[in-house]
Structure 1
Amino acid sequence: MSIGGPQALASLEEAMRDIRREEDEISRRLARSSEVIAKVKESEAELFRQLAQLRLDPSIQRELDGRISSAEVRARETLKTHGKAIEGAQKTLDGFEAGRVSLIERRANAVAVLAEKQQALDALLKEVAVRLEADPAYIEKRTAAAALAEIADQSLDKTKQAEADREEKGKPYRDDPLFIYLWDNGFGTSAYRGGNLTRYLDGLVAGLVGFAKARPNYAMLNDIPLRLREHAERQAAGAEAAEGELAAFADAAADAAGGKPLREARAKAQADVDAIDAAIVEAEDKRDAAAQSLQDLNGSDNPVLSSAAAALAAALGQEDIQTLLAEARRTRTGQDDTIVAQIDDARTRMREEEEESRDLRDRARTLAARRRELEDIQWEFKKQRFDDPRSTFREDRLVGDLLNDFLRGGISAASYWDQWRKSQNWTPGSEWGAGNSSSRQGGSPWEGGGGFNWPDNSFGGGGGSSGNRKPRAPGGFGGGWSGGGSSSGGSGGGFSRPRTGSSGTRKHGGFKTGGGF
């Protein structure tokens, strides 16, 4: 079952929202984990106070209690300040996300306006096309363009055949080392520079291999394709010029029918979409930077968290306190055993919290990388106008199983994007629909040059003006006659999305992840 372009982009955006929701949830869980670890540390400190009351004399108790209390106060104040910093970073992040969502909604409205303008323009161009079919002047130009295109095609075919003959029939010459030695040195021509002895010896070799008879044949094999190619290029240039005249004639007819204001309105709508896309990139990069700042605040190597934990850990790890704990373990009293067990439980819980925090931080880094990759794909998707209502995708798994595989790291971003490219089609009736044989004006029906994009491939700049001219293969002559309908700007996953900040290196290898995806 196929899916439409707008629906496909909406599915990618929903996946993006899922990633961001999980990122936000991880940030909240990391903040809570920091609070839990701080409270467990305080609980451990209180347990050591109780143990000291049971086993130490009052003067030593007061000294130990003062040390622990001082460390607790410093840690509590540090964590309080840190908590406010996290709260502020989360608010900043939420603000950027709200702005991004607002831009996405604005873009959807702008795309709807663009589709409306395009539809009105297409309707007019179809009416003009019907009139042009009965216009003798247009028919004459189209017939001439078709004839020139046919001649250009025949010239190209002859050139390819001559080039194939050169490769096939020239192989025996190239495989003969003596012949090719004489050929490379220009023997028998004015380019030859051998001395008397060399000339004498080369003459013996030439007689041995029959060079005098073979050289003109090999020269002709090489010369004919070059001359045919020059001729084919001239014919292709003439055909291209004829198509340009035909396009100009059709565009003038469209302008006379009122097409210019419609074209300008469509161009303005397109510019609005492009401006919003640029704003989305900026908003995403700002949000990315804010997310990185929040991740740094929640990081295990954050100096604020480290200093807060270290101060209390140092107080609880001093030799006299460790001696106190060791002695309590050696004695067998009910109260001692209860407190020691509670200290062990607190330390076990702290280790579990720290391990979970490490896992969450790893997951956050993976999600950030996956989000950037999905941003790359969305950018390419919109850049190629795949969200045009006339764009469809044959493979609905792109927003199902394949999307899940990408999010889980089963396939790379490059491979996932390549699946989109291969599945994409333009619906019949758009100038890039079925039967299009030229890419002279760009890679999608929303991209135009100076003239009109004719919706039926038969008029103007759409490239199909030469009647039944067969499609040209890539590398053909005339500048824009290479084949291909929906160009994606290359294969292999090379993404072109601009990045306005140093938000980390984009990776496309795919991460093996668990969690919510």
Structure 2
Amino acid sequence: MMSGRQTLGEIDRAVDDSRARVAAVEARVEAAEQQLQAQRRGQLEDYKALAQLRVGLLADAALLNHLDQSEQQVTALLAQRETALTLLTEQIQFAESAFRTLESERNGQAARVDAAVQAADAAEAHTQARLGADDAYKARLEGATEAERKAAHAAEKADRSEAEREEKGVSYRDDPLFMYLWKRRYGRPEYRAWRLTRWLDGKVARLIGYADAGANYARLNEIPERLREHATALATAAEVEVAALKELDEAARVEDGIPTLDAEIVEAQAALEAIDQRIAQARSDLQGLEVRKAFYAAGQDDYSAKALELVTSELQRDDLLELRREALATPFPEDDLIVARLLEREDELRRLDGALEPLRASLVQARQRLVEVETLRSDFKRNRYDRADSRFGNEAMIAMMLGQFLNGALDRRNLWRVMQEQQRYRPERSDPGFGSGAFGRGTVWGGGLGDARRQSDIFGGLGRGSAGRTGGSGAAGKRGGNSGGFRTGGGF
């Protein structure tokens, strides 16, 4: 068994792990992008150095001046990029601080919800103990239990009789002559027929022994009907007994102030939900900032794009290409060294470009996984699966499914379905199957879950089989297994 808070801790660790993965991939992308920028700027510097060697031969310093201007523009764009990135980083830090503040506020409010739940749970346990010691209440409970037992027994007898009617009636229903006379209501007061028809029907009846067979078939049909009528009457009587017991439970709850405690839970929960809405907005804002930062890391921001466009356009100029061809044709070793360095840079640029594509795809995937696990955490908290009385049945399965989710082998929808199936709320002191809650008709005992009447659909069938815990026996136990005070999950 795994508590809701332990499960939330596992999800928190999954969020931290996802963030670490995003940061690691982002750092690799940013490093590769910076290397690309350095190589492109290095190309401009190499062409500038080549032009400086050739300026005397060209008798024209225009190209050199143009390269100087381009380099200055690229440097200015990258400086602006650094300024904008610094501002964005500060915004992210502020948003993270605001998010942590809201999370802290939520933790405090969640603790208040848990305290209200525990107070209601303790109050219900006290009320149940008081009722359990009351002789008049015990008599009413025993009466309801006995009425329920009789109703269940009568229903079982009616079911068996109806099944016997279906089984033993096959031979009658498969006999066409018998069914002909039966449908014509032969031998009964309501039988009507012409004289010749009556004479022929009589011959058929004597031929197949209809007198005895008809009487037997009539009894075979009549007995289940009477048993069902009796079972229905006993079920109605049981409903009356259980309703009276439920009234005693409700009156005891009111007398001990439990509805007021339920209202406090609802109020505390509403405040918690309001904080959750603010957290959702803060998380959305933070994610938007982090996406913008990812663009900077990948060199896809406006400043990097403009710098890349400028460098690319410069490197494609005809006069630069002509300068390179002329340098290859000269016998000067200085020219050859610069051209060789340009060729090395081109090889390195191709390698870096090839390495960046999968890194960028990995970054997108890592960010999507982070958003998924953060959404999972938000859903978990919004449904209050982290409450003090929340439990998850299969700890190993939850851990395994979380691992598969982080590795991309499981999507959030299926993981959430598994969590819903495994999650239960278990009151620590009170018993939702106490008293009128033991008969499979809902329960007034919320176990600290708030307005028990509003939650009655949640508790449908809860506590059946628990009559033995309250001094009863029989019918409730026969009609369902012991729930152990659990209910299925699905939100508070």
TM-score by length of structure 2 reads 0.70
Q: Trace 1:179-328 onto structure 2 (pairs within 5 A).
A: 243=242, 245-298=244-297, 302-328=301-327
Deviation at 1:399, TM superposition (A): 6.4
Q: Trace 1:403-442 onto structure 2 (pairs within 5 A).
A: 403-426=402-425, 429=428, 440=442
**Does the C-alpha gap of structure 1 residues 483 and 428 become closer, same or farther in structure 2, counting only changes over 3 Å?**
closer
Identity over aligned residues, as a percent?
25
Cα RMSD over matched residues? 5.3
Task: For structure 1, list consecutive stretches of 5 or more residues without a partner in the other structure.
Answer: 180-186, 189-220, 475-481, 490-495, 497-517
Deviation at 1:266, TM superposition (A): 3.5
**Does the C-alpha gap of structure 1 residues 304 and 121 become closer, same or farther in structure 2, counting only changes over 3 Å?**
same
Distance in 1 (CA, whole Å) between partners of 2:88 and 2:236 is 60
**Does the C-alpha gap of structure 1 residues 365 and 117 become closer, same or farther in structure 2, counting only changes over 3 Å?**
same
Residues 102 and 275, structure 2, Cα contact 8 Å, conserved in 1 = yes
**Does the C-alpha gap of structure 1 residues 54 and 425 become closer, same or farther in structure 2, counting only changes over 3 Å?**
same
Distance in 2 (CA, whole Å) between partners of 1:349 and 1:169 is 90
* Corresponding residue for residue 3 of structure 1: 2
Distance in 2 (CA, whole Å) between partners of 1:310 and 1:68 is 15
Distance in 1 (CA, whole Å) between partners of 2:393 and 2:411 is 21
1:449 to 437, 448, 451: 451
Q: Trace 1:60-71 onto structure 2 (pairs within 5 A).
A: 62-71=61-70
Deviation at 1:117, TM superposition (A): 3.0
Q: Trace 1:446-485 onto structure 2 (pairs within 5 A).
A: 447-450=449-452, 467-468=472-473, 469-470=476-477, 485=486
Deviation at 1:287, TM superposition (A): 2.0
Deviation at 1:132, TM superposition (A): 0.6
* Corresponding residue for residue 218 of structure 1: none
Distance in 1 (CA, whole Å) between partners of 2:95 and 2:235 is 53
Deviation at 1:278, TM superposition (A): 2.6
In the alignment, residue 342 of structure 2 is paired with which amino acid?
Answer: I
Distance in 2 (CA, whole Å) between partners of 1:402 and 1:429 is 28
TM-score by length of structure 1 reads 0.67
* Corresponding residue for residue 392 of structure 2: 393
C-alpha offsets along residues 149-184 of structure 1, whole Å, 9 cap, x if unaligned? 446656776797799899999999xxx9xx9xxxxx
Deviation at 1:379, TM superposition (A): 3.8
Residues 395 and 423, structure 1, Cα contact 8 Å, conserved in 2 = yes
* Corresponding residue for residue 487 of structure 1: 488
Q: Trace 1:81-120 onto structure 2 (pairs within 5 A).
A: 81-120=80-119
Q: Secondary structure at the match of 1:311?
A: helix
**Does the C-alpha gap of structure 1 residues 450 and 421 become closer, same or farther in structure 2, counting only changes over 3 Å?**
closer
Residues 6 and 389, structure 1, Cα contact 8 Å, conserved in 2 = yes
Deviation at 1:253, TM superposition (A): 1.8
In the alignment, residue 113 of structure 1 is paired with which amino acid?
Answer: R
**Does the C-alpha gap of structure 1 residues 450 and 50 become closer, same or farther in structure 2, counting only changes over 3 Å?**
same
Distance in 1 (CA, whole Å) between partners of 2:165 and 2:84 is 74
**Does the C-alpha gap of structure 1 residues 39 and 120 become closer, same or farther in structure 2, counting only changes over 3 Å?**
same
Distance in 2 (CA, whole Å) between partners of 1:149 and 1:134 is 22
Residues 441 and 449, structure 1, Cα contact 8 Å, conserved in 2 = no
Distance in 1 (CA, whole Å) between partners of 2:414 and 2:445 is 20
Deviation at 1:20, TM superposition (A): 2.8
* Corresponding residue for residue 126 of structure 1: 125
**Does the C-alpha gap of structure 1 residues 330 and 58 become closer, same or farther in structure 2, counting only changes over 3 Å?**
closer
Deviation at 1:400, TM superposition (A): 4.5
In the alignment, residue 5 of structure 2 is paired with which amino acid?
Answer: P
Deviation at 1:242, TM superposition (A): 5.5
Deviation at 1:453, TM superposition (A): 9.0
* Corresponding residue for residue 344 of structure 1: 343
* Corresponding residue for residue 193 of structure 1: none
In the alignment, residue 487 of structure 1 is paired with which amino acid?
Answer: T
* Corresponding residue for residue 134 of structure 2: 135
Deviation at 1:407, TM superposition (A): 0.6
Deviation at 1:484, TM superposition (A): 10
**Does the C-alpha gap of structure 1 residues 127 and 159 become closer, same or farther in structure 2, counting only changes over 3 Å?**
same
Residues 425 and 433, structure 1, Cα contact 8 Å, conserved in 2 = no
C-alpha offsets along residues 380-430 of structure 1, whole Å, 9 cap, x if unaligned? 433543322233334443565543322111233234334434444555745
**Does the C-alpha gap of structure 1 residues 268 and 401 become closer, same or farther in structure 2, counting only changes over 3 Å?**
same
Structure with the greater alpha carbon radius of gyration? 2
The structure in which a higher percent of residues are helix is 2
Distance in 1 (CA, whole Å) between partners of 2:408 and 2:226 is 53
**Does the C-alpha gap of structure 1 residues 370 and 17 become closer, same or farther in structure 2, counting only changes over 3 Å?**
same
Distance in 2 (CA, whole Å) between partners of 1:127 and 1:37 is 72
Deviation at 1:19, TM superposition (A): 2.1
**Does the C-alpha gap of structure 1 residues 229 and 403 become closer, same or farther in structure 2, counting only changes over 3 Å?**
farther
Residues 439 and 484, structure 1, Cα contact 8 Å, conserved in 2 = no
Residues 259 and 451, structure 2, Cα contact 8 Å, conserved in 1 = no
Residues 421 and 488, structure 2, Cα contact 8 Å, conserved in 1 = no
Residues 439 and 485, structure 1, Cα contact 8 Å, conserved in 2 = no
Bigger mean CA offset, 419-428 vs 76-85: 419-428
Residues 393 and 424, structure 1, Cα contact 8 Å, conserved in 2 = yes
**Does the C-alpha gap of structure 1 residues 270 and 317 become closer, same or farther in structure 2, counting only changes over 3 Å?**
same
In the alignment, residue 449 of structure 1 is paired with which amino acid?
Answer: D
